[in-house]
Structure 1
Amino acid sequence: MSSTLITVAPTGAESAKADVPALPVTLGELVATARACEAAGAAVVHVHIRDAAARPTLDLGLLRETVAALRETDLVVQLSTGGSVHDPYADRLKVLDAAPDACSLTCGTVNFGNDVFMNPWGFVAELYQETQARGIAPEFELFDLGHVATMNRLLDRYGPPSGGRVHCDLVMGVPGGFTGDLRTVAAAVGQLPAEATWSATGIGRTSLPVLFAALAGGGHLRVGMEDTLTYAKGRPVRGNEELVARAADAARLAQRPPMTTTEARAFLGIRPAPAPGPTASPAP
C-alpha cells in the first residue's frame, strides 16, 4: 500500500467520564474531536455515543443526531454495532437505521475482560445481510482466529459487502482475545482472504507494538481513547488528536502517508459523502 488508512475511535463504551475527563462524551465534544482528528490525519471516525449522564447508549434518535452532526466533517462515519457488552441484539441491529457510511461487525463471541461480548452466528449473519441491503460498509472486527473463520463463512455464504471491499480490523490485546504482538498479527493476517485489507488496533500497552507491526506488514491503523488512555508511561492521553498525530507521523516515516477522506471512501467501497444538511448546533 502507498498510503495508510487511519481510523480514530474516540470514546468507546468502557471508560467513565469521571475517571477520564478528556474523554469526548457530549455531541459537541465528539464533533470537536472529530474535526481535530481529521486535521491530524484520520479518515474514519468509529463512533460510540453516550447519554446525558455520559452512560453508553444505542438510542436511535441520538445516533441519528450524531451522524448528522458528523456529516459536517468529511470523515467516514462508522457506527459501532457492538455498543456495550450489555446491549441487546435488537438494539444493535437498529444502529443501521441511523444510516452511517460504515459500521463495525464483530465476527464472533469473545471473553472481554470480566465480561462476555456475545455475537452468535445468527446475529452476525443477520447484521451482515442488513449491511448489504442498505449499502453500509461493514468493517469485520476480529478478536481471535475463530473470528477469521466466521468472516470467511459469511463471505462464502452471502457474498461480498455491498461496496465490494472486504476490510477487517484486528483487535489485539483484549483479555480473552488476540495478544498484541508481531507474531500474533502475522498469524492473523496469514488467515485472511487474499482480497482483504486490514487495520490493527492495539489495546492499552499493546498500542505501539501493534501500530508498528501493522505498518511493517502493509496494514492500516486504528487509534483512539476507546483503546488506550496512556500516551506514554505515567502520561495520560490529553486528546484523541495526539494519538492520531502520532499514528500519522509513524505512517509518514514508513513512507505510507495518511489517506485523505476521499481516498478512504474509494478504498472502503463507500459511496461519496452526502451533502451536509442543516443541523442544530451541538450542545457543548
Structure 2
Amino acid sequence: MSSPTSPSGPVGPRSSGTLITVAPTGAEHRKSDVPNLPVTLAELVSTAQDCERVGAGMIHVHIRDAAAQPTLDLGLLTETVAALRAETNLVVQLSTGGAVTDPESDRLRVLDALPDSASCTMGTVNFGDDVFMNRWEFIVELHQRMRDRGIVPEYEIFDLGQLASLHRLLDKHGLPAGGHVHVDLVMGVPGGMPGDVQTLVAALRLLPEGASFSATGIGRTSLPVMLAALSAGGHLRVGMEDTLSYAKGEPVRDNAQLVARAAGLARIAQRPPLSADEVRALLGAARPEPVA
C-alpha cells in the first residue's frame, strides 16, 4: 500500500464529524482501587447509555468476571454484545487484546461473540513492566477471521513500526471486512510511542492511503493527543481504560465526563460527534455473521 500524497492530507478528505469511542474499563485497573470503574454488565450498559447520550458512537469493550477480574469468557462476551445492542445503538467493539497474559486461542475466540468491530493490534510492544505479544501469524489469523465473519477491525498501533506491518498485512492479505481501513494510534504507553504532536504527525505520514484514524492518549497525554488528533482531521478514543485523571489532582468522575469533554472539543473544532449510524457508514460496519 503506497503512502498517500493527496492535497487533502495523509488520511484523505477530512470527515465533517468526529467518531468518539469510549473505552470504559480495560484490563489493567482494579475495581478495589477504582470504585467507579464499570465492571458488571449492568454497570457497563448504564455507562454505555450515558456515553451515547453525550456523544459516543462506539464502545471498546473489556469485560470482567464475578470477581471483577479480566476475562475472555465467550458466554459473557456474547451476553455483553447482546445487552449493549439491545440497550444502545452504539457500535460494539470487543478487545481481542484482553489482558497481556491471555492465550492466543482465547483472544481469537472473542470473534465468535460476533461484535460489530474488534481490535487487531499490529505488533508486540513492551507494556509497562509486561510484554503485549502479537506474533505476525496471529495478526494474520485475526485479520482473516474478522473478514470471514464480517467484523470490522480497528488496527491498534502502539509504535511507528507497526504501521509498516499494517502495510505488509494489507498488501499480502487484502482489505478488511467493510473495505475501509481504520487505525487507532495508542500513544503514551510506557514502552510504546510517546503521546506528542511530533509523533502523531510522523504516524500520519505512514498511514495507508484513504485510511481514517483515531488517537488515544494514555494518562497525562490524553488532552495533548486529543487536541492534536482533532487538528489533523482525526477521531478520538477516551475512557477510564486509558486515564483515571480528568485534570491534575482531579480524578475522573465517570466515563461520560470524558466523552462529554471530547464531544465539546470536537464541536469547537467544527467536527461534531458522529452518531452510531454515521460511524457504521464511516467504517463499513454491517451485522457480522457466524462462520459455518
Asked if Structure 1 and Structure 2 have the same fold, meaning a TM-score greater than 0.5 normalized by the shorter chain, the answer is yes
The alignment status of 1:97 with 2:108, answered yes or no, reads no
Q: What's the offset of the Cα at 1:221?
A: 0.1
Q: Structure 2 residue aligned with 1:116, among 110, 131, 146?
A: 131
Q: What's the offset of the Cα at 1:271?
A: 1.5
CA distance in 2, matches of 1:90, 1:147: 22
CA distance in 1, matches of 2:94, 2:209: 26
Q: What's the offset of the Cα at 1:273?
A: 9.5
User: Which residue of the partner structure matches residue 183 of structure 2?
Assistant: 168
CA distance in 2, matches of 1:208, 1:165: 27
Contact 2:149 / 2:288 at 8 angstroms: preserved in 1? no
Contact 1:74 / 1:273 at 8 angstroms: preserved in 2? no
CA distance in 2, matches of 1:179, 1:258: 26
User: Which residue of the partner structure matches residue 46 of structure 2?
Assistant: 32
User: Which residue of the partner structure matches residue 266 of structure 1?
Assistant: 281
The alignment status of 1:126 with 2:119, answered yes or no, reads no
User: Which residue of the partner structure matches residue 189 of structure 1?
Assistant: 204
User: Which residue of the partner structure matches residue 139 of structure 1?
Assistant: 154
CA RMSD in angstroms, aligned pairs only: 1.0
User: Which residue of the partner structure matches residue 9 of structure 1?
Assistant: 23
User: Which residue of the partner structure matches residue 80 of structure 2?
Assistant: 66
Partner amino acid, structure 2, of 1:175: P
Contact 2:55 / 2:259 at 8 angstroms: preserved in 1? yes
Partner amino acid, structure 1, of 2:19: L
In the TM superposition, what whole-angstrom CA distance separates every residue of 1:194-253 from its partner, at most 9, and x where no partner exists?
111000000000000000000001100000000000001111001000000000000000
Partner amino acid, structure 1, of 2:41: L
User: Which residue of the partner structure matches residue 282 of structure 1?
Assistant: none
Q: Structure 2 residue aligned with 1:55, among 45, 61, 69?
A: 69
CA distance in 2, matches of 1:193, 1:99: 26
Check 1:207–1:181 CA distance in 2 against 1; reply closer, same or farther (3 A cut).
Answer: same
Contact 2:230 / 2:266 at 8 angstroms: preserved in 1? yes
CA distance in 2, matches of 1:264, 1:211: 18
Percent sequence identity is: 68
SS in 2 for 1:198: strand
User: Which residue of the partner structure matches residue 106 of structure 1?
Assistant: 121
Structure 1: runs of 5+ lacking an equivalent: 275-284
Partner amino acid, structure 1, of 2:277: T
User: Which residue of the partner structure matches residue 229 of structure 2?
Assistant: 214
CA distance in 2, matches of 1:125, 1:261: 28
Contact 1:265 / 1:272 at 8 angstroms: preserved in 2? no
User: Which residue of the partner structure matches residue 235 of structure 1?
Assistant: 250
Q: TM-score, normalised by structure 1?
A: 0.95
SS in 1 for 2:26: coil
Partner amino acid, structure 2, of 1:142: I
User: Which residue of the partner structure matches residue 150 of structure 1?
Assistant: 165
Check 1:3–1:272 CA distance in 2 against 1; reply closer, same or farther (3 A cut).
Answer: farther
User: Which residue of the partner structure matches residue 43 of structure 1?
Assistant: 57
Q: TM-score, normalised by structure 2?
A: 0.93
User: Which residue of the partner structure matches residue 159 of structure 1?
Assistant: 174
CA distance in 2, matches of 1:85, 1:231: 26
CA distance in 2, matches of 1:27, 1:189: 36
Check 1:103–1:186 CA distance in 2 against 1; reply closer, same or farther (3 A cut).
Answer: same
CA distance in 1, matches of 2:288, 2:274: 15
CA distance in 2, matches of 1:202, 1:15: 16
Q: What's the offset of the Cα at 1:75?
A: 0.1
CA distance in 1, matches of 2:33, 2:287: 38
Q: What's the offset of the Cα at 1:109?
A: 0.1
Q: What's the offset of the Cα at 1:19?
A: 0.3
